[in-house]
């Protein structure tokens, strides 16, 4: 089969012939139905995390159907529809038992080389590798869902939707009537916005340099949209919130500068949540004295603090009920060979999500 592979950081990704390996006792073979193109895929391919071992099969936002299970698998059976989770939820480690499966201690430890490529075994991103027609993953990396939603929507729940909606609902715990500001309205940012809307936020302020994304944010329930290239977003957010700042702010752009703006735009006692994924070499500068005086809370959002086995089915239910709009986030349907073009479209701000639906 052909899979999308990173052969060299910073170079275009390649469509190459790979051979899946036999399913081991705790593994599940999945026929991939759809794979989203997430910004993290581009960041990894472009070399933002140079410690990662390449060649590597790309893709971490996917959904499909189980076609084979190992002898010890108990969670799913052939025929089940599943969403892949890029953080496993083992259910028995200290973090999982503490109600934090998004920080499962087996993360990174259940991965192993999975595909034969060019005479050697290579790994797949996050133990998944959704940019291929078939995936062989550990059973703790799948969540069974019972639904008729199309795979292209389920795939987005694998990363962008869960990360974004979860940041509002389960990391920051936005309250009804609250004011919310979101820096960045790509796939994850729009999902944060929808999460805050579902939570009942009153003021929903979207910040994005692309007019198309601001329009989409307004269509999805934003009450205000700010172009940060035309005005100071922090000053404008304070103006909208009667000089105070927003009660909940979110950073989904992934730069230290916008992280600082996100902190500054929160009101005293407010909550600033960092969702964006940055290069490990970057640091964030904050006013040291202001931290205790302002009483602000600074939170990190890992996978939207979602307990995937419980929460992914809930997100599916919200989508089925029409309260979470996943369909509008699918901007383009592409084939496996069009990932580089999809990266370019993403960089130009043309798409919320391109989704591979043709393998
Ligand atoms: Zn992602
Ligand atoms: Zn665990």
pLDDT tens digits along 195-214: 999 999 999 999 999 999 99
User: What percent of the chain is modeled with pLDDT above 70?
Assistant: 99
The rounded distance, in Å, linking the Cα atoms of 276 and 212 is 20
Rounded to the nearest angstrom, the distance between the alpha carbon of 92 and the centre of ligand 2 is 5
Rounded to the nearest angstrom, the distance between the alpha carbon of 112 and the centre of ligand 2 is 17
Q: What average pLDDT does the segment 330-334 reach?
A: 97
Q: What average pLDDT does the segment 329-350 reach?
A: 95
pLDDT tens digits along 343-355: 999 999 899 999 9
Say what the pLDDT of residue 289 is. 84
The rounded distance, in Å, linking the Cα atoms of 265 and 243 is 10
Contacts of 161 by beta carbon, 8 Å cutoff, 6+ apart = 191, 315, 324, 326, 329
Say what the pLDDT of residue 123 is. 92
Domain ranges of the chain: 2-158+325-358, 163-302
Q: What average pLDDT does the segment 25-44 reach?
A: 96
Instruction: Kindly state the greatest CA–CA separation across the chain.
Output: 64
Contacts of 149 by beta carbon, 8 Å cutoff, 6+ apart = 316, 319, 320, 326
**Residues, beta carbon < 5 Å, ion ligand 2:** 90, 93, 96, 104
Sign of CA dihedral 290, 257, 171, 49: negative
- Split at pLDDT 50, 70, 90, the class of 72 is very high
Helices and strands, counts by H and E, the chain: 11, 19
Rounded to the nearest angstrom, the distance between the alpha carbon of 89 and the centre of ligand 2 is 5
Listed range (90-94, 272-276, 288-292) with the worst mean pLDDT: 288-292
pLDDT tens digits along 46-59: 998 877 899 999 99
**Residues, beta carbon < 5 Å, ion ligand 1:** 38, 40, 159
- Split at pLDDT 50, 70, 90, the class of 111 is low
Distances (CA, A) of 185 to 152, 160, 256, 279, 359: 20, 12, 17, 20, 28
pLDDT at 112 over 80: no
Which ligand number lies closest to the CA of residue 94? 2
- Split at pLDDT 50, 70, 90, the class of 114 is confident
pLDDT tens digits along 239-248: 999 999 999 9
Which class in CATH covers the domain with range 163-302? alpha beta
- 2-158+325-358 CATH fold: Quinone Oxidoreductase; Chain A, domain 1 (3.90.180)
Rounded to the nearest angstrom, the distance between the alpha carbon of 160 and the centre of ligand 1 is 6
């Amino acid at each position: 089969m052909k899979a999308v592979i990173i052969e060299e950081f910073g170079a275009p990704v390649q469509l190459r012939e790979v051979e899946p390996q036999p399913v081991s006792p705790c593994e599940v073979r999945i026929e991939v139905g759809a794979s989203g193109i997430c910004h993290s895929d581009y960041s990894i391919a472009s070399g933002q995390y140079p410690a990662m071992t390449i060649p590597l099969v790309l893709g971490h936002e996917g959904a499909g159907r189980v076609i084979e299970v190992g002898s010890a698998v108990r969670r799913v059976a052939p025929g089940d529809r599943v969403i892949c989770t890029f953080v496993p939820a083992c259910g028995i480690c200290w973090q999982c038992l503490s109600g934090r499966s998004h920080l499962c201690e087996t993360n990174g430890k259940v991965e192993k080389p999975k595909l034969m490529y060019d005479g050697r075994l290579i790994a797949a991103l996050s133990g998944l590798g959704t940019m291929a027609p078939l995936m062989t993953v550990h059973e703790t990396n799948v969540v069974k869902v019972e639904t008729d939603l199309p795979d292209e929507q389920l795939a987005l729940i694998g990363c962008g939707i869960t990360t974004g909606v979860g940041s509002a609902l389960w990391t920051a715990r936005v309250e009804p009537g609250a004011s919310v500001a979101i820096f960045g309205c790509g796939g994850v940012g729009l999902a944060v916005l929808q999460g805050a809307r579902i939570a009942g936020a009153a003021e929903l302020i979207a910040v994005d340099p692309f007019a198309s994304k601001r329009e989409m944010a307004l269509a999805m329930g934003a009450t205000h949209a700010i172009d940060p290239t035309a005005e100071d977003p922090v000053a404008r957010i304070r103006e909208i919130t009667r000089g105070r700042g927003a009660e909940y702010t979110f950073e989904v752009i992934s730069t230290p500068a916008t992280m600082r703006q996100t902190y500054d735009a929160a009101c005293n006692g407010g909550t600033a949540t960092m969702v964006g994924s940055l290069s490990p070499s970057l640091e964030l500068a904050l006013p040291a004295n202001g931290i205790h005086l302002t009483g602000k809370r600074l939170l990190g959002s890992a996978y939207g603090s979602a307990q995937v086995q419980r929460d992914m089915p809930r997100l599916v239910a919200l989508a089925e009920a029409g309260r979470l709009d996943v369909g509008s986030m699918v901007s383009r349907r592409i084939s496996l060979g069009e990932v580089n073009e999809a990266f370019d479209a993403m960089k130009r701000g043309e798409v919320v999500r391109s989704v591979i639906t043709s393998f």
